[in-house]
Amino acid sequence: MACRLAIGAAVLALTAGCSSLQSADNFLGVITPYRIDIVQGSVVTTEQAQQVKPGMSRVQVRDILGTPMLSDMFHNDRWDYVFTFKRPGREPQRRSVVAHFKGEVLERLEAPNLPSEREFVATISPENIKQGATPKLELTDEQRKLLPKPARVDQPPVTATGATRSYPPLEPS
């Protein structure tokens, strides 16, 4: 019995380390691990970048673009807004926007190839959601009629001790 257990453990150890049986996408062709989307950073869209103008204060820029992802004391006149999006099976997205200040005033904004808000939402939306399709959030009258009627409770509520409890009316008679 101990010999069989030792042989079984050895076989498992050998196959676990065998790279030809495992791949990044599945294990032995049967189990596919779940991989999450990784979204990091500050999203800056074309509409936001168009609102930012040279001569604005740091507070005004922060109000429009949000808090920068990178702002260090060695480059006090530079704010970096970095956004990355990694989805399994797709090319990772990376965008970088840099705000350059002169003192407390914005000198220039480097924002190459930013998507519009609509384009950004389309790139991060799951594939199973159709573009432009709005999910139906309300039942039709026909669907409401098909719902079961809630059971009417005529008995007063019972407390934990088993005694019945009555409540005063909500509105005066």
Q: What is the pLDDT of residues 88-114, one digit of tens each?
A: 878 888 889 999 999 899 999 998 888
Q: Find the mean pLDDT for residues 45-62.
A: 92
Q: Find the mean pLDDT for residues 56-64.
A: 93
pLDDT for 51 beyond 90 = yes
Structural domains present in the chain: 37-124 (3.30.1450)
DSSP string, the chain: -HHHHHHHHHHHHHHHS-TTTB-SS-BTTTB------EEEE----HHHHHH--TT-BHHHHHHHH-S-SB--GGGTTEEEEEEEEE-TTSPPEEEEEEEEEETTEEEEEE--SPPPHHHHHHHHS-TTSPTTPPPP-S--HHHHHHSPPPPP--SPPB-TTS-B-----SS--
- pLDDT (tens digit, 9 = 90+) per residue, 36-48? 888 888 889 899 9
